[in-house]
Amino acid sequence: MKLLFQLYCTFFRIGGLTFGGGLTMLPMLKYELSEKKDWVTEDELLDYYAIGQCTPGIIAVNTSTFVGYKMKGIPGAIAATLGMISPSLLIISVLALFLSQIIDNPIMIHALAGIRVVVCALLLNTVITLAKKSFVSPLCVGIAIVVFLLALFTPVPTILLIIVSGALGVILQKTGKLKLDKEGHAKS
Amino acid sequence: MSIYFYLFIEFFQIGLFAIGGGPATIPFLMNLTERYDWYTKADVANMLAVSESTPGPIGVNMATYAGFQAAGVAGGIIATFSLVLPSLIVIIIIAKLLENFSKNPYVQSAFWSIRPAVTGLIANAVLGIFETAIFTNAEGHFHFPVFSVLLCAVFFGVMNIKKLKKLHPVVWILGGAVFGIMFKM
């Protein structure tokens, strides 16, 4: 019981003190889990992180579920995950309540108009970063363009596009057209 | 059926199929605006701004916010729990069964092609956000606001200056708010 409470509190701190999620959370995870406590080694953490990236869902949540499970089985996984999402639930609920009260204020309307422009610039950055990471061969660029056009011009469901893309990679590998090294990078 | 039930179904699916973390949920959140009147496409930009400026994983923040817009505090809680439930199930199974999940050749080859597909999907969602956040006027028609487009380009340029790259997004978001108020955007 004590360990479950510790798991909850530790991940509550990580969730509540890191902005941005994803990669920005890694230093905080390392500090809380490997340095302050010896729950997981740095290597284990990087492994969990890698798995968190290639499993469905939010990477930070996946990583906390993994660490929690390793520490105390299914109850541990649940405690860690609840800890990770609790700060978001509290902060966003309060903020959304507050924002919905002042959203019609003229100053707020101007501020949000400016913010929306910046969000667009930030998103453009996100797309470029993702493209740099995922465009590891010309075929990958082709896949991205085809999926982009299908999503833009046809009503094909997002889920189907993801499943078919995943199947394509497996088929290419099975038929020997795609060869990956141990790190998962394509061999030319 | 109650709205909570739909929130559960939709966010469970997002949790199950949004591969690649927070940004991967954006296409799904945009897609929801076409089937429900929980929030508008323009709201998504506000949700993103709030989610990036507050602590916690962005994807979780977005889900809480979207659920709140749909059905208040209870909606936020249900959306968030539904989003993380698939992660819990999938990760526990993987932790039990597969020692070297991320080194499995099937997993690697599937992700080799899923990653660029997700990039394409996110690019499409981002295009939709550009459309509603910049190129749609108050009456809902297409317009081309030269000032906003230039401001966006300037912000994009400045945030890619090497020394400023590490700055937290909240800095840019606050900057956007200041510009918006100063120029009565």
Has residue A188 got a pLDDT over 90?
A: no
- In this structure, are A12 and A82 located in the same domain? yes
B154 located within any domain: no
Q: How confident is the model over B60-85, as a mean pLDDT?
A: 96
Other beta carbons within 10 Å of A76? 20
Nearest neighbour of A134 by CB, restricted to B57, B86, B119: B119
| Domain co-membership, A89 together with A19 | yes
Q: B99 pLDDT exceeds 70?
A: no
Measuring CA to CA, which residue among A43, A7, A178, A97 is closest to residue B114? A178
| B101 within domain boundaries | yes
| Phi-psi category of residue A18: left, alpha or beta, with phi > 0 → left and psi -120 to 50 → alpha | beta
Q: How many domains are there within chain A?
A: 2
Amino acid occupying residue B119? T
Q: What is the dihedral of CA A17, A132, B24, B43, to 10 degrees?
A: 80
Give the pLDDT of residue B156.
Answer: 94
Give the Cα separation of A53 and A80 in Å (integer).
18
Residues A36-64: pLDDT tens digits?
Answer: 888 988 878 877 877 787 788 898 899 89
Domain encompassing residue B91: 3-114
Among A172-186, B5-19, B149-163, whose mean pLDDT is lowest? A172-186
Chain segment A61-77, per-residue pLDDT in tens: 998 999 999 899 999 99
Residue B163 within a domain: no
Cβ atoms A122, B159 nearer than 8 A: yes
| CB atoms B52 and A122 under 8 Å | yes
Query: What is the structure's pLDDT at B15?
Result: 95
Same domain assignment for residues A96 and A139: no
With contacts defined as CB-CB under 8 Å, which chain A residues touch B83?
A: 57-58
Count other Cβ atoms within 10 Å, centred on residue B34: 9
Which residues are bridge partners to B59 per DSSP? none
Q: Is the per-residue pLDDT at A186 higher than 70?
A: no
Domain presence at residue B29: yes
Residue type for position B164: L
Same domain, A118 and A57: no
Do A81 and A136 have their domain in common? no
Chain B residues close to A113, C-beta within 8 Å: 148, 180, 185
What per-residue confidence (pLDDT) applies to B12?
A: 97
Give the model's confidence band at B148: pLDDT under 50 very low, under 70 low, under 90 confident, else very high. very high
Three-state secondary structure call for residue B143:
coil
User: Is there a single domain that holds both residue A93 and residue A126?
Assistant: no
Indicate if A61 and A115 belong to the same structural domain. no
Q: Most B CBs within 10 Å: which of A55, A117, A152, A180, as the mutation test of the B interface?
A: A117
B141 class by beta-carbon count within 10 Å (0-12 exposed, 13-18 middle, 19+ buried): exposed
Structural domain count, chain B: 1
Does A118 lie in the same domain as A81?
A: no
What confidence tier does B128 reach under pLDDT thresholds 50, 70, 90?
confident
Q: What are B146's two structure tokens?
A: 């030269």
Domain membership of residue B159 (yes or no) is: no
Task: Give the ipTM.
Answer: 0.83
Is B78 or B129 the better-scoring residue by pLDDT? B78
Residue B176's nearest CA partner among B25, B41, B53, B61 is B53
Min CA distance, B157 vs chain A (Å)? 9
Mean pLDDT of A100-109: 84
Average pLDDT over residues A1-6: 92
Instruction: Answer whether residue A4 shows pLDDT above 90.
Output: yes
Tell me which of A56, A71, A102 is where a domain ends.
A102
**Chosen domain end from A53, A87, A102:** A102
Q: Is the pLDDT of residue A173 over 80?
A: yes
| Domain with A167 in it | 106-174
Distance between CA atoms of residues B63 and B84, nearest Å: 10
- Look at B178 and A120 and tell me if their CB atoms are within 8 Å: no
The verdict on A79 and A113 lying in the same domain is no
Pair A116, A97 in one domain: no
Q: Is A167 in the same domain as A112?
A: yes
> Residue A25 pLDDT more than 80?
no
